[in-house]
């Protein structure tokens, strides 16, 4: 397993290592597949400043509000939904 690390400066710039894939990204949310599961980064004005999946490195800029890990194989879009909403889906 490759090493996974996160370096964040002032909740504005994030450097990540150990990234396998970028699942989705827009200005409000970036979902990455890391060595330790899926990583969701939520914020405002997010943009990818560096992407090198051969080396497993990604850098982001913008206002970061939260970072959350999900296990691989889980529903990565289920975050923030109540159990009732997921059952009635």
CATH number, domain at 62?
2.60.40.2000
pLDDT, position 84: 54
pLDDT in tens, 29-84: 999 999 889 999 999 999 999 999 999 999 999 999 999 998 766 666 655 455 55
List the structure tokens of 79. Answer: 């975050």
Q: Which residue has the higher pLDDT, 85 or 65?
A: 65
pLDDT, position 78: 55
- Given a cut of 90, whether residue 12 has pLDDT beyond it is yes
Q: Which residue has the higher pLDDT, 6 or 80?
A: 6
Full-model pTM: 0.79
Please give the tally of structural domains in the chain: 1
Which residue do the tokens 């194989």 mark?
A: 73
- Given a cut of 90, whether residue 87 has pLDDT beyond it is no
Residues near 31 by Cβ (< 8 Å), separated by ≥ 6? 22, 23, 24, 25, 38, 39, 40, 41, 76
Pick left, alpha or beta for residue 62 (phi over 0 → left; psi -120 to 50 → alpha; otherwise beta): left
- Rounded to whole angstroms, how far apart are CA atoms 87 and 84? 5
List the structure tokens of 29. Answer: 């949310």
- Residue 9 belongs to domain spanning: 5-87
């Amino acid at each position: 397993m490759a090493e996974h690390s996160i370096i964040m400066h002032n909740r504005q710039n994030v450097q990540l290592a150990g990234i396998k894939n970028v699942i989705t990204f827009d200005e409000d949310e970036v979902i990455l597949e890391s060595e330790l599961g899926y990583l969701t980064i939520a914020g405002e004005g997010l943009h990818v400043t560096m992407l090198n999946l051969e080396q497993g490195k990604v850098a982001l800029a913008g206002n970061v509000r939260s970072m959350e890990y999900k296990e691989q194989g889980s529903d990565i879009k289920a975050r923030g939904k109540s159990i009732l909403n997921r059952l009635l889906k």
